[in-house]
């Protein structure tokens, strides 16, 4: 697959939506409103928010890498890594909830987006197992 055709890949578009929503949620819940500038992290909530943003970005990068790679081992490593990152994001939602955020609807929206992404991701992942490289 070529880089120019990534936008035609459903799981890639879902990863972009997940990344954008994660950045918005991270910015909203962070005490440090300069979180997107990667400055000093001052609180537990800021730490979770930064991790949330970073992991969502890594998911998009790993989807790109898996889609563009011709190597089966690179693809499988990326797919495993994406699984870990999606579980992490769900754990960050739980952490923010335990930290006392009152706007749980934003966390639930992010959880729903993860669920949508994972459905698309699992379908895409099966396509790799069905091909012989």
The pLDDT tens digits for 46-87 are 899 999 999 999 999 999 999 999 899 999 999 999 999 999
Instruction: Name the pTM for this structure.
Output: 0.86
Average pLDDT over residues 31-43: 59
Tell me the domains of the chain and their CATH numbers: 1-125 (1.20.1440)
Between residues 32 and 132, the one the model is more confident about? 32
Q: Name the token pair of 84.
A: 């870990």
Q: Read off the pLDDT of residues 84-125 as tens digits, 9 standing for 90 and up.
A: 999 999 999 999 999 889 999 999 999 999 999 999 999 999
pLDDT for res 32: 61
Q: Name the token pair of 15.
A: 């990863």
Average pLDDT over residues 19-45: 76
Residue 35 scores a pLDDT above 80: no
């Amino acid at each position: 697959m070529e880089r120019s055709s990534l936008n035609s890949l459903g799981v890639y578009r879902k990863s972009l939506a997940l990344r954008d929503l994660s950045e918005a949620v991270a910015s909203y819940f962070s005490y440090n409103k300069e979180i997107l500038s990667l400055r000093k992290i001052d609180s537990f909530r800021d730490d979770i928010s930064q991790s949330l943003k970073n992991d969502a970005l890594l998911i998009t990068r790993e989807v790109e890498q898996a889609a563009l790679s011709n190597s089966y081992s690179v693809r499988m490593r990326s797919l495993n890594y994406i699984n870990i990152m999606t579980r992490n994001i769900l754990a960050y939602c739980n952490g923010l909830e335990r930290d006392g955020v009152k706007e749980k609807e934003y966390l639930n929206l992010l959880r729903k987006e993860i669920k949508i992404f994972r459905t698309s991701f699992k379908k895409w992942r099966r396509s790799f197992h069905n091909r012989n490289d």
